[in-house]
Amino acid sequence: MKTQSVLLLSAIALFIPGLATNASAQSADLSFLTTAAERTDFQETTRYDEVMAFLRVASAQHPDMHLTHFGYSLEGRPLPLVVFGDVNGAEPEDVLDSGKTRIFIQGNIHAGEVCGKEALLMLTRALASGEHAAWADSLVILMAPIYNADGNERVNLFNRPRQNGPLGGMGQRPNAQGLDLNRDHMKMKSPEARSLINLMNKYDPHVLVDLHTTNGTRHGYHLTYSPALNPNTATAIDSLSREVILPEVTRDFKRRSGWEAYYYGNLPFRSGDPGWYTFDHRPRFNNNYIGLRNRIPILSEAYAYATFEERILSSLYFVESILSWSHGNPGAIHSAINQAEANTRTGLEQGVRFTRAMNEAAVDILMGTVETKTNPFSGAPYLNRTDSVYVTRIPEFGAFRAVESAMLPEGWVVDSASASTVAPILDAHGIAYSVVSDDMDKTVSTFQIDSLDVASRAFQQINEQELHGSWMMAQRSFTAGSLIVPVDNELGRLSHYLLEPRSDDGLVNWALIPDLDQATTYPIHRIESDD
C-alpha cells in the first residue's frame, strides 16, 4: 500500500495547486513527501517503485531539478539520475554547457547498504524545497540514489547479518547476476557498471562520491571515508583530497552532526600486525578507478552498528559538507584536475603491482563498543553501537607502494587479430584510439610470454590471471585494422593500467584477452618515445 500511495502522489502532483510544476517556483512545501524509512520509524528501506515516484514528485517542484536515467539494470530497471543546477535540462550537453563544477553522488552500489539511498532522497527533497539554493551558483549536482536497483528489490531479513537495521530487511550486496558492482569497474561485466562508466564519459563529473555502509570493525566513528588509494593517482588529486578536502569536510561534518569521522580502516580480521588497515588499491573499486581518470573521488562508509536513522543522517551531513566545500572552492577542484591531466604524459612512472605500506607509525584511532540485540521480526542478533568509546594508538596502513613499475609509453598498438576484442572495452571506458588503415611496419616493444598463472578458484565469476615474461624491442608488421592507443591524454593512466600485461587489474588479470596460454607474445605492444 505504501508504494501505491506514493505512486498516487506522483500521479496527482501535477494537479494540486502550488504543487504542480511551476517554472517560476523556487520553493515548495514537500513535508508530505517521505521515504519509507521515515514513514516506518526507520524499520524499512525504500523500494525501487517508491524511489521513482518520490523522484518524479520532487523533480516536478523546482525549475532547476530534472529527472532522467543513465542506463538500465540487468532486469531492465531504468537507473534514475537527478540533475540539479542552473542548466537547461538533464542531457549531458546541457550540463557540460553550463561550465559549472559537476558533482556526482551515488548510493546503493551494495543494496544492503541502503543509508546512502535514503540520504540522497532526503537531499533531493531539500533541494526541491528550495534549500541550499546558493549551491546552484557554482555547482551542478548529479544524484543516482539507487544504482544497484535489482539488488535493492531482493529484500531479506537475513541480509547483512549483525548490521543495525533496517529491521524490516534490506537488499542484497550483488546485482541480479551475482556480481559485486564495486569490483566491476575494469572488466565491466554488468550492465550497471557499463551504464555508470558511460555516465562518467558523457557527464564527466569533477568530484564523485560513493555512499556505503561499513563492515566488521567496532570503531568509534559514525562515518569513515577514503580518497583514491592507487599510487598511480595524480599527486595533485591526492594532495587536494588528503590535505584539503577531507580535513575541511571532516570539521564541517562534526559541526553539523557532533559526530566523529576519519579515514576508512579496519583492525586485522583474523591475524596480522596490529594496525588500522585500509582496503584495496586496485581500480576495480570505484574510488580508485575514478582517481585513474584524473577526477576526485570520495568514498563514504557509514558505521554499520549505528542506528539506521543515524547512518542515514551521517551520510546526508557528509554529502552536504562535500557540496558546501565544493561550492566555495571550484577553483581548487579545477586546478587539481588540470594539473593531473597536464602530468599524464609519456615517460611518467606508473606502478603495475603493489604492496601495502605504513603511512603513519602511530595514530590515535577511536574504538567503540557494541551491545547485542535481537531483531523482533527475524529473531536474529544484531549489534548496536553504544556511547562507550576509547582511544588506541596503533600504526596506520592507509597507503600502498609499487613493487613493480613501468613508464607510460607513447602509446600502444593492438594487433588486428585482437582489435575486435579490445576495441569494445576501450569504447566502454571512453579511451580514444585510431584504426590503422594500411599495413605498416613499426618498431615497438613486445612482451615475450614465459608463463601464465591462472587462479584455481573463480572470483566474480572469473579465474584471474597473472602473466610472466619480458619486453623486447623489435620491428614488427601490423596489418590494417590494428589499433593505435595514445597515452598522452586524460585517460592515459587508466589505459596503461588496462593494457599493461603485468597490471594487477587489467585485461590480462580479468582474462579478457583469450588464448594467452597458447600465445608466445602479448598482442598489445608498447610504442616507445623517440626521445
| Domains identified in the chain, total number | 2
Read off the C-alpha cell for 194: 557499463
The one-character DSSP state at 329 is: -
| Residue 23: pLDDT band with limits 50, 70, 90 | very low
| Whether pTM exceeds 0.85 | yes
What average pLDDT score do residues 276-286 get?
A: 98
Do residues 224 and 213 touch, judged by C-beta distance below 8 A? no
- Give the span between the Cα atoms of 84 and 98, in whole angstroms: 12
Within-domain flag for 358: no
In terms of domains, do 324 and 446 share one?
no
- pLDDT interval class at 30 (50, 70, 90): very high
Q: What does the block give as the cell for 149?
A: 536497483
Three-state DSSP class for 109?
coil
- Residue 116 and residue 203 share a domain: yes
CA distance 119 to 313: 7
Mean pLDDT on 265-284? 92
**Does residue 18 fall inside a structural domain?**
no
Q: What is the DSSP letter of 170?
A: B
Per-residue pLDDT averaged across 96-110, rounded? 98
The answer to whether residues 282 and 431 belong to one domain is: no
pLDDT digits (tens, 9 = 90+) for 151-173: 999 999 999 999 999 999 999 99
Model pLDDT for residues 334-376, shown as the tens digit of each residue: 999 999 999 999 999 999 999 999 999 999 999 999 999 999 9
Element (H, E) at 442: strand 440-454
Domain closes at, from 325, 344, 363: 344
229 and 82 belong to one structural domain: yes
Q: How far apart are the first and last CA of the chain?
A: 70
Tell me the pLDDT band of 400, cut-offs 50, 70 and 90.
Answer: very high
Q: Is the pLDDT of residue 35 over 60?
A: yes
**Mean pLDDT of the 57-64 span:** 97
Query: Quick one: 433 and 301 in the same domain?
Result: no
What mean pLDDT, rounded, does the chain reach? Answer: 95
Same domain, 76 and 224: yes
Hey, which residues does 296 pair with through a beta bridge? 207
**pLDDT for 179-196, tens place per residue?**
999 999 999 999 999 999
**Does the residue 387 lie in any domain?**
no
Q: Are strands 524-527 and 411-414 parallel, antiparallel or unpaired?
A: antiparallel
Question: Does 337 lie in the same domain as 417?
Answer: no
SS3 per residue for 127-167 = HHCCCCHHHHHCEEEEEECCCCHHHHCCCECCCCCECCCCC
Residue 529 pLDDT > 90, yes or no?
A: no
- Per-residue confidence band for 10, with pLDDT thresholds at 50, 70 and 90: very low
Share of the chain above pLDDT 70, in %: 95
Whether 177 and 102 share a structural domain: yes
323: Cβ–Cβ under 8 A, 6 or more apart, which residues? Answer: 103, 132, 135, 139, 141
- For residue 211, give the CATH number of its domain: 3.40.630.10
Q: Is the pLDDT score of 270 beyond 90?
A: no
Of 322, 344, 366, at which residue does a domain stop?
344
Looking at the structure, tell me whether residues 431 and 303 fall in a common domain: no
Whether 250 is in a domain gets the answer yes
Q: Is residue 464 included in any domain, yes or no?
A: yes
Task: Let me know if residue 289 belongs to a domain.
Answer: yes
Instruction: Provide the domain limits for residue 211.
Output: 61-344
Written as nine digits, the cell of 88 is: 537547461
| CA atoms of 128 and 20, how far apart (whole Å) | 12
Which cell numbers hold the place of 311?
A: 547512518
Residue 27 near residue 129, CB atoms below 8 Å: yes
Q: What is the mean pLDDT of residues 387-416?
A: 97
Same domain, 186 and 267: yes
Q: CB under 8 Å to 195, separation ≥6 — which residues?
A: 70, 71, 72, 79
Tell me: the pLDDT tens digits for 414-461? 999 999 999 999 999 999 999 999 999 999 999 999 999 999 999 999
Name the 3-class secondary structure at 227.
coil
Inside any domain, residue 383: no
**Which residue type, as a one-letter code, is found at position 367?**
M
Task: Give the span between the Cα atoms of 503 and 404, in whole angstroms.
Answer: 9
Domain co-membership, 128 together with 234 = yes
From 294, 329, 344, give the residue that closes a domain.
344
Residue 251 pLDDT > 60: yes
pLDDT band at 506; cut points 50, 70, 90: very high
Confidence label for 26 from pLDDT (cuts 50, 70 and 90): low
Amino acid residing at 475: Q
In a domain, 180, yes or no: yes
Note the pLDDT tens digit of each residue in 43-55: 999 999 999 999 9
Is a pLDDT exceeding 60 seen at residue 15? no
Neighbouring-strand partners of residue 354: 402
Pick from 193, 180, 53: nearest CA to 113: 180
Q: Residue 16 pLDDT > 70, yes or no? A: no
Cα–Cα distances (Å) from 245 to 222, 241, 336, in that order, read: 18, 5, 12
Residues 192 and 325 in one domain: yes
